[in-house]
Structure 1
C-alpha cells in the first residue's frame, strides 16, 4: 500500500468517530473552545472530502496552531505542565485532521489518538473510564484497517468487527504482561492536572478553609480493616501537624527527612488496615496514630505524620499497622515543646487573660483541657457551616462574641489558649470518621469528613488528643457531618445532585454503594497491583522475582498465546476439512512433474486451460475435472468428493509413466 495515496472514505469516517470518542473523557477538564475547534475542523475536513473546500494553506495552519497555543495560555495560564500539555495534545490531534491528505498523515493522526487515550487516565482511572477507553481504541483500529486497499476494508461494519476481534485477541497477552512484566517508574515527573488538586486538605489552616472543604462530596480514600473496624469516634485519620501560628494562619514547621524519628511506645492492640488513597498531589498519607509500614517510600516524621518522598499523583494502595493507644513522646523533647509554645507577640488579649485565669485554677494540663471542654459544652457555643465574621482579633471574636464556628475555629482557639497558659499544644488536621459500605465491609472517607483537632503535651503522658468539636457537637464525631448539620440543612448545600445527599433513600443508596464496591475492587486488584503487590505475588509463585521460572513462564506463556492466536487466525483444521481445496492441491501436484506450476494469483480456470494446451492428450480429462471442481466450489452444486476423486484417478491413469514414479 502506497503511503502517499489519498485516504479512503471509510478510514476518514472512522477517524472522525475516533476523534469524538477520544475527546469525550476529556470534556470535564477541557476548555470549551477545544470543542468548538473540533467541530470546526471536522466540518472543514468533510467539506474538503466533498470537494467543496480547499486544504488549509500554510498561513492558515500557522494561524490555527497559534490560536490553539494562545487558547491554552489564557485558559491554563501556562504552556508548561501536565494539564496544559494534555490540552495542547488534544488541540494538535484536532488540527491535524484538517490537513489530512495521504495515508501517511492518517497514520500520524491514529498514533496521536492512541496517546490521547492514555492521557485520559491522568484524570479518571475508575472502571467506567477503563471500559469506555476501549471505544476509542476500537475506532482507531477500525480507521487503521480502513486505510488498507481492499473491498473488505471499504465496509464500515466489517472493519469494526475486525477491529473488535483484534482487540479481543490482544487481551490474553495483555493480561500476561500485566501480571508478570516489571513495573517501571515514570520517565518524567510533572505537576498533576489542576483539577486533581482543587479539593483536599491544604498544608495550612485558617478559619473558613475547612468550611469550604466540607461542601465537597469527593472521595478522599477507602479503608478496609483486618477484622472489625474501630468505633467511628476513634477514627481520627492524621494527615498534618500544624505547629506555627502567625496570628491568622496555622502552618507546618519545617522538617528534614533526615531528622531523628519521633519517640513513642507501643501500647494496646494494633490495628491492621489497607488504604486506597485518591490522588491529592501532596506527599502526606492518611493513617491512624501511630502508624508503621505504610508505603515503601513513606517515613514517619518527627511530628508523627506519615509522608512519602513524592506527591500522590495517582491512586495509591498501602498497608498500615497502627497503635491507637501508643504513648507519643512521653519524655521531654525540648525542641518540640519550645516550638509548640510559640505565639505572636500581641493580639487576642481576652483569650490570653482567660488562659492565665485557667492556669491559676487548673495547674495540670489535663485538668485545664477538660475545663475548656466543659466551657465549650455548657456555654452557648454552636457548630455551624455558616460561621459569622469575627473581626481582626479572630480568637477573641470567636470565643467571646460569635461563639459559632466549624472545627478549625474550635481547634485553633483551644490550641491558642493552651499555649497562652504555658501548655505545649498544636493543631492536627486530617479526617474523622467514615461511611461504612456493608456490601464490601470497608469505609469511605469523603472530603466533607475533613476535620481538625488538638494535641497537648503532659509529662509522662506525652501528646494527648482532645477534640473540642466533640464537646460542642457530639453528633459530628459519633454520627458524621450530615447528622450534625441536619437542623441547619447546610450539608452539601452547594451540590444538590450529589447522591450522598440522598442516603436516606435505600434503593438509591444501595445502588451507589454497590457501584462503589465495584470501583473499590478495581482499585485494589488492578490499579493497586503495583511494584510491591507484584513482587509479593511473584515471590509466592516463583520464590524470587529474578527466578528463571519467571522468565520461562513469561516467554513461554507469550509464545503459547501467540501460537493460539495464530491457530485461531489461520484455522489449519478447517483447511484439512476443505475437501475441494485438498483435491485441487492434488491436481496441482499431479501436473508439477510435467513442468506445470500454478503462478501466484492464477485462478483454477486459467491454470487448467494452460494444462490442456500443454497436455492435449489429457485435455478432455483435465476439462472434466475443472468443470466438476468449479461447479462444486463456486456453482452451488452438491459437494461430491467421490466425483472429484474419480476424475483425478482417471487423469493419473492417462498421464505418462513418469508421473507414477514421481507421484
Structure 2
C-alpha cells in the first residue's frame, strides 16, 4: 500500500510548526550562525514544497551544515555547539518531507528544539516562543489526523473554524497536563547541585574576560544587554563611587594584560576598611565563567566563592545560570599598606623593548619630581593632567602596532578605557610606582520600580588603574574619568534604545523590572526556597520525606484531574453522541446494554427483537446512523431535534 501523500494544508501546517519550533533556538545562537541556519531552513522548506530532492544532494547538504557549525565553533563541543547542530539538522529535515510518516517524524524532531532552547536561556521570551512552537506542532499533528480520517476544510470559512477547533483541542490537552506540571515545579524535591554535568558552552557569552588586549573589549562595550542588578539594603554609595570590581591584571607582555593565576591560591591582602558599610544583593546574569564582581571592596566572600590576594572574587562553579549573592562592602582606608618584595617586582615589571618614548617620559617625570611619596603623588598628577589636557574618548581607534602605548600617548591621543588604563599603568611602572589594571563595571542606572534597584549593562564594563602609594597601599585612579567623566557615569537616557527615544525610558524600566520578577519567581526557585515554601502557613521547614509525600499527594490529585477531563472530553464535544450514549444506558437497566463491538443498527435490531414494544427506536437508530456515519450532507440535518428525540425516548 502506497504511503498517504500530504495535501497542501497539511504540508503548510507541518512547515509552519517546524519553523515556529526552530525560532526560539535560532534566537539564542550567535547572530551570523542563526541567520545562516535560517536561510538554509527557508531554502529547504521551499524545495520540499516543489520538488523531491535527490538523496545525494541531501547528504551533501547535511555535511555542509554540520561542517559550517563545527567550524564556527572552532571544533569545540559544548551546549551551544550541540544546540546549533540540532537546529541545523532540523533546518534541512524538510527536504525529506514526502508522506504522512515523514511529516510526523519532522514534527517529532521539531519538538526537541524548544526544549533545547532552555539549555541556553531560561528567559520569558524563550518560554513564550517555545510554548507557541509546541502548540503549533500539536495542532499540526491534529491536522495530520484529520487528513487521515478524510476531514476537509477547503471551503470558505471552514479553514478558520478548523483552526479554532484544533487550537481548542490542543489547549484542552495543555489544561489537562497543567496541574501535574505545576506540582512537579513546586513540589518535586530539588537538590542544590545537578545529578549530572551539562557541558559548558563552546562559544563564551559576553562578559568580563581574564585578559585585556587591543580590540577585544569593543564587543562588550557596545552590548547593552543586562549584566547584573544590585539591590541595596540601607545606605547606597554615590553613583560615581560605584566601582564593581572584577578581574585584576598584573602581567603585561607589550600587547595584552592577563591575570596571574597563582594569586587565586593566596589569601586576601590586608585591608583597613573605612567606616562606610554597604549591604546589598547582586543578581548576576549567566556568563559561563567563575568570575564575580563586588562593590569595591568586599568585606568577605559569600558561601560558594573565594577572595584572591588582589580581592578578585571567584565562584566554585561556572556561573552558567542566573545567581544571587548577598554581600557587604566598604571603601578601603588602607589597602595592603605593606607590599611584599615579590609583589612589588611583579607590579613594576615591563617587557623589554616596548614603548621607549613612554618609558623615557616616565623617567623624566621621576627626575623632575624626585623620589619618595611626594614624588609619587606628583607623577600621578602629571599623568592625569596630560590625559585631561590633550586626550579624547572614542571607540574609533585602529589596532596598534608593536609600541601600542607610545602610539596612544604620542600619536592617536584618543581611545577608550582599555587604552587609558593600560597606558597609565605602563607610565606608572616605568616611573617606579607599582601599578596594576583592574576591570569590572562602573556606575549603574537606578530603576525606580520594585522598590528601586541598580541595573548595570555589559556596556558599563570598565577598566581603571590602581597604584601603590606608601602609607596608603593600593589607591584607585581612573584616568578615563579625567577625560570623559560623562561616559563613565552616564545612564540609559544617554545611550542605547532609551537614549534614541527618551520618552520610552519608563517602558524599558518596566520591562527590566518584569524580567527581574521572572528571575525571582521562576529562575530563583531553588532547593532553599522550596524548603521554605510553606513558611507562610507556619511550616518552618520541609524535610525531604515530607516533600516527597506532599508531591505524591499533589501528583495524585493532578492525575485524577487528568483522568476526569479525559473521560468527559468525547461526550462534551458531540451532543448527539452524548444523547445516544444516554439512551444506551437507559436500555442497559433492562439488560440490553450496547456491546462494544455492535454497530448502532445491530444494537437496535437486537433491542427490537427482544422488546417489540420499543416503538420508535428503529427510526431513532436510523436517524442517528444517518447523522453520524452515512450521509455526506448530515451536517445540514437538524441535529438539535435529533438530540431532543433521543433524550425523550423511553424504553
Q: Which band: TM-score by shorter chain?
A: 0.7 to 0.9
Change (3 A) 1:602 1:388: closer
Within 1, Cα distance between the matches of 2:468 and 2:89?
58
Shift of 1:463: 2.3
Q: Secondary structure at the match of 2:292?
A: coil
Change (3 A) 1:481 1:36: closer
Does structure 2 retain, via aligned residues, the 8 Å contact 1:355–1:418? no
Unmatched 5+ residue regions in structure 1?
48-52, 484-490, 492-497, 649-663
Q: Secondary structure at the match of 1:133?
A: helix
Within 2, Cα distance between the matches of 1:502 and 1:57?
51
Change (3 A) 1:535 1:372: farther
Q: Deviations over 1:274-302 (max 9, x none)?
A: 33333334321121123367675322122
Within 2, Cα distance between the matches of 1:236 and 1:162?
55
Q: Does 1:174 align with 2:181?
A: yes
Does structure 2 retain, via aligned residues, the 8 Å contact 1:268–1:325? no
Q: Does 1:45 align with 2:29?
A: no
Change (3 A) 1:186 1:32: farther
Change (3 A) 1:59 1:328: same
Shift of 1:408: 2.9
State the partner residue of 1:552. Answer: 549
Shift of 1:193: 5.7
Match 2:436 to one of 410, 414, 426: 426
Does structure 1 retain, via aligned residues, the 8 Å contact 2:384–2:479? no
Shift of 1:237: 0.9
Within 1, Cα distance between the matches of 2:522 and 2:318?
21
Within 2, Cα distance between the matches of 1:538 and 1:580?
49
Map 1:447-458; keep pairs closer than 5 Å: 447-458=458-469
State the partner residue of 1:523. Answer: 519
Shift of 1:338: 3.2
Does structure 1 retain, via aligned residues, the 8 Å contact 2:297–2:311? yes
Unmatched 5+ residue regions in structure 2?
154-161, 625-637
Match 2:446 to one of 411, 423, 436: 436
Within 1, Cα distance between the matches of 2:281 and 2:492?
24
Shift of 1:557: 1.0
Map 1:56-455; keep pairs closer than 5 Å: 56=53, 58-73=55-70, 76-78=73-75, 80-100=77-97, 105-122=102-119, 124-148=121-145, 150=149, 155-181=162-188, 182=190, 185=194, 187-192=196-201, 194=203, 197=205, 199-206=206-213, 209-210=216-217, 213-227=220-234, 229-255=236-262, 257-291=264-298, 296-325=303-332, 327-346=334-353, 347=356, 348-357=358-367, 360=370, 363-364=373-374, 367-368=377-378, 371-372=381-382, 375-376=385-386, 379-386=389-396, 392-399=402-409, 403-440=413-450, 441-455=452-466
Within 1, Cα distance between the matches of 2:514 and 2:553?
33
Q: Does 1:510 align with 2:506?
A: yes
Q: Deviations over 1:546-593 (max 9, x none)?
A: 433211221111111222233333349989x97875454132221x2x
Change (3 A) 1:467 1:36: closer
Match 1:636 to one of 637, 641, 647: 641
Does structure 2 retain, via aligned residues, the 8 Å contact 1:219–1:444? yes
Shift of 1:32: 4.7
Within 2, Cα distance between the matches of 1:137 and 1:572?
22
Q: Secondary structure at the match of 2:111?
A: helix
Does structure 1 retain, via aligned residues, the 8 Å contact 2:285–2:323? yes
Within 2, Cα distance between the matches of 1:422 and 1:79?
43
Change (3 A) 1:59 1:448: closer
Does structure 2 retain, via aligned residues, the 8 Å contact 1:423–1:456? yes
Within 1, Cα distance between the matches of 2:252 and 2:498?
35
Match 2:615 to one of 594, 615, 623: 623
Q: Deviations over 1:339-364 (max 9, x none)?
A: 21222345333233135236616535
Q: Does 1:14 align with 2:23?
A: no
Map 1:451-466; keep pairs closer than 5 Å: 451-458=462-469, 460-466=471-477
Change (3 A) 1:67 1:248: closer
Within 2, Cα distance between the matches of 1:333 and 1:124?
45
Paired residue total:
612
Change (3 A) 1:142 1:341: same
Within 1, Cα distance between the matches of 2:314 and 2:215?
25
Shift of 1:60: 4.3
Match 1:609 to one of 605, 608, 611: 605
Question: Whose radius of gyration is greater, 1 or 2?
Answer: 1
Does structure 1 retain, via aligned residues, the 8 Å contact 2:444–2:489? no
State the partner residue of 1:34. Answer: 37
RMSD: 3.9
State the partner residue of 2:499. Answer: 501
Within 1, Cα distance between the matches of 2:237 and 2:528?
27
Within 2, Cα distance between the matches of 1:540 and 1:428?
45
Change (3 A) 1:631 1:516: same
Shift of 1:243: 0.6
Shift of 1:305: 0.9
Q: Deviations over 1:605-652 (max 9, x none)?
A: 432321332x3xx41x123456579889967168489964xx54xxxx
